[in-house]
Structure 1
Amino acid sequence: MKYFKLLLSLLLIISIDTYGSDTLIKNGTIHTGDGTRAFIGDIYIKNGVINSIGNIDIEASTIIDATGKIITPGFIAPITAVGIIEIGSLDVTRDDEADYLNMGFSIFRAFNANSTLIPWNRSNGLTSVITLPQQASMPLAGMGSFFVLDGEMNVSGMKDMVMLGKIGASSGSRSEDLDILENLISLGKLVRNKNYEKVLELPMAEFFELHPQDIEALDKVANKNLPLIIETNRASDIKHLIDIKNKYDINLILAGVEDAPLVVDELKESGIPVIINPMDNIPNSFDELSSSLELAAILNKTGVTIMFDSSRSHNYYLMRQGAGNAVAYGMNYEDAISGLSKTVADVFGIKGRGSLVKGNFADVVIWESDPLEPASVPLYVLIEGKEMDLVTRSSRLKDRYIEKLIQN
């Protein structure tokens, strides 16, 4: 008992010391992520959150000299498969698809905190991600979750905080897909006046072989403001989805939107945020004939809310290259930084992250140079004030073979 009390006391001292640690970042060029101009200043971090920003003269247990360096919030990727896919072509490493459920499918419990994709993307500036299921044959595929990329086995994040769907070219008719989408949302609306069991007895629920989890998920989208990402590109589909959003008052986000310049005024008026890949400028189908390197600039100048995606599997951090390309073709620089950070947090209701302001979690990245240049790398990545290890499997392999070359 005596030794147990001694051990408990030591653990308490260690935990207090860790929790009480503080960090002062000095003289960096700070992009707060809220769209305002960058400035040279300091960031004081205490107990995992940002305590103050400005010109700070204070003692701290850790001081980082960021003179000549750029500081941004940790970037948040809105569309990924981090933690649920290791090798896309190997089914046993994939947990992104359900056999039983439809829109009620949740990937949350499949998340692998030891995934090699976590240190790889974290070392390139991503501090958190939204992980989504694979698209399904139905217009709605399932629910995604938000995860902090700290690598801890006690996973930090938000469970089932978004639903994913798709409208576009398929083996069937997109007209039928739009009808099914609208009918499913209507089914969700019925939950306000009926319990799940009553809704499951309706012919539509029986036809689609829906389960209680599916009805619960539809209820969240239809009645509880759960964000719904729909991947779509064709202008006519965008217009139909705007109509559905207005009719049912759902929290809709559109991804892809290659044809958006053709309906940009309607998109702006709808208030629907978009997720785009500025590198995707070559039509891959008849749905994408308006693909353009200027897509981000056109939407930005019109006032559409923009976030970024990358088509590169595993390398989700390359969305910052896309943001850089968007700036090169006319998008405002600070809006691009925000589109990688604060905008994502705001759109998806992620509290306390995405911007460098007092009281937020200290998810901070210090860059050697411009973060929108793909060759630029982080010198420091902090998540909730804790410095992350930037070593990855790839960097260990590099060091291993360089050492062998030197020895030879």
Structure 2
Amino acid sequence: MNALRLSSLLGVALTAGAAQGAGPPSTAGPPCALIRGVTLSDGAGDRVVDVVVRGDRVAAVRILAGGEPEPGCDVIAGAGRVLTAGLVDPYTRLGLVEVDLEAPTVDTDLRAPFQDPSGQIRASVRADLAYNPRSSLIGVTRLEGVTSAISVPSGGVISGRSFWVDLVGARQGTAIQRAPVAMHASLGPRQESRASAFQTIDVALREARDFATRQREWAKNQTPGFLTPRLDLAALLPVAKGELPLVVTVDRASDIEGLLRMTAGTPLRLVIAGGAEAWLVRDALAQRKVAVILDPLTYGPGSFDQLAARPDNAALLHAAGVAVMFSTFSSHGARKLRQLAGNAVRGGLSHAAALDAVTRVPAEVFGLADHGRVAPGAIADLVLWSGDPFELSTRVEGLWIHGRSVPLTSRQTALRDRYRHVPPR
């Protein structure tokens, strides 16, 4: 294979879609690729393997099988490089925010005229319909190895439903893998009291459970009216039944404890986002099998809800048996996800657990178990690194989403190349 072909497969020399930075992956790639002699890094440790990709799936992972590749398979030299599953950020605004201070480009607040007058319950509005797969932030984020994200709405006590996207393609139908993927709510400091926020969530979920068994009577006006609008109750039904996770943004340990008490005995699938003081209630979280999304750089008194935050939060939670994930809680900063994982390692978490926290764990928690792994049958979202992905000096040298080589370009690289050599006047 000539050097130009190999460079193309690694996505280094491809320039299609550079101006938008979020165009579709190359469709000129082969149906089969063999990444030979690469160091595979995952929760099971590091080992040198051959990885075969066919179509959009990983077809095989073999311990240095050697020999000739299958007919039609292109060979990519993996020696000296590290291969991981694509990174997943489970709490972003990607595709919903382009410029924070420019209102027409911010689509995270899902308040609608048919909701309750206070706008605190926004369960029924679909944020995925506003997703912009051509956002310039997507290409920038991909360049740092992030291949999937969950985009999350904001506002109110019950903010609405998030959705899972793979960072590929110029159409919503290509990028969005699951909608909804979770319902989102928020506790903590606000204008009204914390108790009123708890009550808003509690009443809405209780009414959703009641609504599930009394829909016919409600339609015939044979039941007392509900405080929660019908469309929101319908959206909350799968949450109340435990079919859709409820992600609650909360930092203070006492608020987490109150949430666990309020939902005890229900089938709710709780996930904590933020969790700055989650280590204080780690045994209770582990007992309830509640996963936690956190930012490892949140430590010290950043607010009155984070007074007990500490840098080994992730390590303590993991040691207690809590499923831990990491997020940048950002749109523009989502590209820094691997740096957060590296800081969790600095705080005492094992390298393998940190890698799981940005690959396998979010995929399993949110029900997309064919993502986040490098194993036969898994979606071929792969990243080829020049070294340890948690080291700042490491570069992405190859990127595949759904088995297709994706160009390592963005709006930033396009501007760099355009103005790198300015002709003299």
* Alignment TM-score, normalising by the size of structure 2: 0.86
Query: Are the structure 2 counterparts of residues 307 and 140 from structure 1 closer, same or farther at C-alpha, using a change threshold of 3 Å?
Result: same
Residue 77 of structure 2: aligned partner: 65
CA drift of 1:200 comes to: 11
Correspondent of 2:326 among 293, 308, 312: 308
CA contact (8 A) 1:227 1:251 kept: yes
CA contact (8 A) 1:187 1:199 kept: no
Paired residue type of 2:96: I
Correspondent of 2:37 among 13, 27, 41: 27
Q: Tell me the distance in 2 between the aligned counterparts of 1:87 and 1:72.
A: 31
Residue 174 of structure 2: aligned partner: 155
Q: Tell me the distance in 2 between the aligned counterparts of 1:236 and 1:395.
A: 46
CA contact (8 A) 1:167 1:174 kept: yes
Residue 386 of structure 1: aligned partner: 404
Question: What do you get for the CA RMSD once the two structures are aligned?
Answer: 2.1
CA drift of 1:98 comes to: 2.2
CA contact (8 A) 2:60 2:376 kept: yes
Q: Tell me the distance in 1 between the aligned counterparts of 2:125 and 2:311.
A: 35
* Identity score, percent: 27
Q: SS state of the match for residue 264, structure 2?
A: helix
Correspondent of 1:42 among 34, 45, 50: 50
Correspondent of 1:334 among 348, 352, 362: 352
Q: SS state of the match for residue 286, structure 1?
A: coil
Q: Tell me the distance in 2 between the aligned counterparts of 1:375 and 1:300.
A: 27
Give the alignment of 1:47-196 within 5 angstroms. Answer: 47-54=55-62, 55-56=64-65, 57=67, 58-59=69-70, 60-100=72-112, 101=115, 102-134=122-154, 136-137=155-156, 139-153=157-171, 154-156=173-175, 157-195=177-215
CA drift of 1:66 comes to: 1.3
Q: SS state of the match for residue 403, structure 1?
A: coil
2:288 pairs with 1:270: yes
Q: SS state of the match for residue 384, structure 2?
A: strand
**Which structure 1 residue ranges, 5 or more long, are not aligned?**
1-16
Q: Tell me the distance in 2 between the aligned counterparts of 1:196 and 1:282.
A: 52
User: What whole-Å deviation, never above 9, does each CA across 1:284-317 have from its counterpart, x for those lacking one?
Assistant: 2211101111111111222211000114541212
Q: SS state of the match for residue 290, structure 1?
A: coil
Residue 358 of structure 1: aligned partner: 376
Residue 290 of structure 1: aligned partner: 308
Q: Tell me the distance in 1 between the aligned counterparts of 2:224 and 2:79.
A: 65
2:249 pairs with 1:241: no
Aligned residues between the structures: 384
* Alignment TM-score, normalising by the size of structure 1: 0.89
Q: Tell me the distance in 1 between the aligned counterparts of 2:281 and 2:219.
A: 36
CA contact (8 A) 2:87 2:148 kept: yes
Residue 205 of structure 1: aligned partner: 226
Query: Are the structure 2 counterparts of residues 224 and 256 from structure 1 closer, same or farther at C-alpha, using a change threshold of 3 Å?
Result: closer
Q: Tell me the distance in 2 between the aligned counterparts of 1:401 and 1:282.
A: 42
Q: Tell me the distance in 1 between the aligned counterparts of 2:80 and 2:98.
A: 37
CA contact (8 A) 1:279 1:293 kept: yes
CA drift of 1:376 comes to: 2.1
CA drift of 1:320 comes to: 1.4
Q: Tell me the distance in 2 between the aligned counterparts of 1:200 and 1:169.
A: 40
Of structures 1 and 2, the one with the larger relative CO (CA 8 A, separation 6+) is: 2
Q: Tell me the distance in 1 between the aligned counterparts of 2:353 and 2:216.
A: 42
Paired residue type of 2:77: D
Q: Tell me the distance in 1 between the aligned counterparts of 2:161 and 2:225.
A: 21
Q: Tell me the distance in 2 between the aligned counterparts of 1:243 and 1:249.
A: 13
Residue 9 of structure 1: aligned partner: none
Residue 240 of structure 2: aligned partner: 222
More helix by share: 1
User: What whole-Å deviation, never above 9, does each CA across 1:212-252 have from its counterpart, x for those lacking one?
Assistant: 2x111110100142011101011111111112332322010
CA drift of 1:328 comes to: 1.2
CA contact (8 A) 2:40 2:46 kept: yes
Q: Tell me the distance in 2 between the aligned counterparts of 1:312 and 1:140.
A: 19
Q: Tell me the distance in 2 between the aligned counterparts of 1:358 and 1:327.
A: 28
Query: Are the structure 2 counterparts of residues 317 and 200 from structure 1 closer, same or farther at C-alpha, using a change threshold of 3 Å?
Result: farther
CA drift of 1:400 comes to: 2.1
Query: Are the structure 2 counterparts of residues 196 and 235 from structure 1 closer, same or farther at C-alpha, using a change threshold of 3 Å?
Result: farther
Q: SS state of the match for residue 399, structure 2?
A: strand
2:346 pairs with 1:346: no
Q: Tell me the distance in 1 between the aligned counterparts of 2:219 and 2:285.
A: 33
Paired residue type of 1:364: L
